[in-house]
Structure 1
Amino acid sequence: MPTPKDVYIAVIGAGGVGKCFLSQLEFLSKRLAANSSSPRLSLVLISRSKKILYSPQYAPLPFDNISTKLADSTQQPLPLTKTIEFLAAAPSKVILVDNTSSQDIADQYPNVLSRGISIVTPNKKAFSGSYQLWQDIFAAAASSGAGVYHESSVGAGLPVISTLKDLVDTGDSVTRIEGVFSGTMSFLFNSFAPTEGSGGKWSAEVAKAKELGYTEPDPRDDLNGLDVARKLTILARLVGLQVESPTSFPVQSLIPKELESVASGDEFLQRLPEFDAQMEETKISAEKEGKVVRFVGSIDVEKNVVKVGLEKFDRSHAIASLKGSDNIISFYTKRYGANPLIVQGAGAGGEVTAMGVTGDLLRVLQRIS
Structure 2
Amino acid sequence: MTTPLYLGIVGVGGVGNAFLEQLGQLPNPPKLILLARSSQTLSSPVPAYSPSIPFATWEDAAKLPSLVKSDALPPTEIAAFLASAPGRTILVDNTSDLALAQAYPIFLERGVSVVTPNKKGFSEDITLFNDIFASAVRGNALVYHQCTVGGTLPVLSTLRDLVATGDEIIRIEGVLSGTLSLLLCEFMPGNGTSNVRWSSLVSHAKEIGHTEPDPRDDLNGLDFARKLIIIARVIGIEVTRPDSFPVESLIPDELSSLPSSAGGISEFMNELPKYDVKMDAAKNAAREQGKVLRYVGSIDVPTRAIEVGLRHVEKGSPIANLQGSQIVSIYTKRYGANPLILQGGGGGGEVTAMGLMADLLKVMERLK
Q: CA deviation at 1:282?
A: 0.6
- The change in CA–CA distance for 1:147 and 1:74 in structure 2 (over 3 A counts) is closer
Deviations 1:124-150 (A, max 9, x none): 001001100001001011222200000
Asked if 1:254 corresponds to 2:243, the answer is: no
- Partners in 2 of 1:273 and 1:200 — Cα distance? 12
1:239 aligned to which of 232, 235, 240: 235
Asked if 1:75 corresponds to 2:62, the answer is no
* 1:137 corresponding residue in structure 2: 132
| Matches of 2:17 and 2:343, distance apart in 1 | 25
Say whether residues 1:46 and 2:42 are aligned partners. no
> Following the alignment from structure 2 to structure 1, what is the Cα–Cα distance between the partners of residues 195 and 184?
9
What's the TM-score, normalizing by structure 2?
Answer: 0.94
Residue type of the alignment partner of 1:362 = L
Once the two structures are TM-superposed, the CA of residue 114 in structure 1 deviates from its matched residue by 0.6
State the Cα distance separating 1:59 from its structure 2 match.
2.2
What is the match of residue 171 of structure 1?
A: 166
Query: Which secondary structure state, in structure 2, belongs to the residue aligned with residue 295 of structure 1?
Result: strand
Equivalent position amino acid for 1:361 in 2: L
| RMSD (Å) for aligned C-alpha atoms | 1.4
Q: Report the residue type matching 1:114 in the other structure.
A: E
Q: Is the 8 A contact 2:43 2:68 kept in 1?
A: no
Match of 2:24 among 23, 26, 41: 26
Gaps of 5+ in 2: none
Question: Whole-Å Cα distance in 2 between the matches of residues 54 and 69 of structure 1?
Answer: 14
Task: Rate the CA distance shift 1:235–1:93 in 2: closer, same or farther, 3 A.
Answer: same
> Contact between 2:17 and 2:57, CA under 8 Å: does it hold in 1?
no
Q: 1:94 to 1:199 in 2, by over 3 A?
A: farther
Q: Given that residues 327 and 344 in structure 2 are in contact (C-alpha distance below 8 angstroms), is that contact kept between their aligned partners in structure 1?
A: yes
Return the letter of the residue paired with 2:358.
Answer: G
Regions of 4+ moved over 4 Å:
70-74
TM-score normalized with structure 1 length: 0.94
Matches of 2:9 and 2:35 in 1, distance apart? 5
How far, CA to CA, are the matches of 1:70 and 1:261 in structure 2? 41
1:63-88 per-residue CA deviation (whole Å, 9 max, x = no partner) reads 36442135568711333211111111
Question: In structure 1, what is the Cα distance between the partners aligned to 2:140 and 2:284?
Answer: 54
1:125 equivalent in structure 2: 120
The answer for the alignment partner of 2:94 in structure 1 is 99
Given that 1:51 and 1:71 are in contact with CA atoms closer than 8 Å, whether structure 2 keeps it comes out as no
Number of residue-to-residue matches in the alignment: 357
CA–CA distance in structure 2, aligned partners of residues 118 and 150 of structure 1: 11
Deviation at 1:244, TM superposition (A): 1.1
Contact 1:121 1:150 in 2 (8 A): yes
52-61 or 306-315, which deviates more:
52-61
> Quick check: 2:292–2:320 contact (8 Å CA) kept in 1?
yes
Structure 1: how far apart are the matches of 2:7 and 2:81? 12
Conserved 8 A contact 1:175-1:333: yes
Match of 1:303, SS state, is coil
Matches within 5 A, 1:1-369: 4-28=2-26, 31-32=27-28, 41-56=30-45, 57-63=48-54, 65-70=56-61, 75-77=69-71, 78-195=73-190, 196-263=192-259, 264-323=264-323, 325-369=324-368
Give, as a single letter, the amino acid of the residue that structure 1 aligns with 2:352. T
Taking every aligned residue pair, what percent have the same amino acid on both sides? Answer: 51
Q: Single out whichever of 199-208 and 12-21 deviates more from structure 2.
A: 199-208
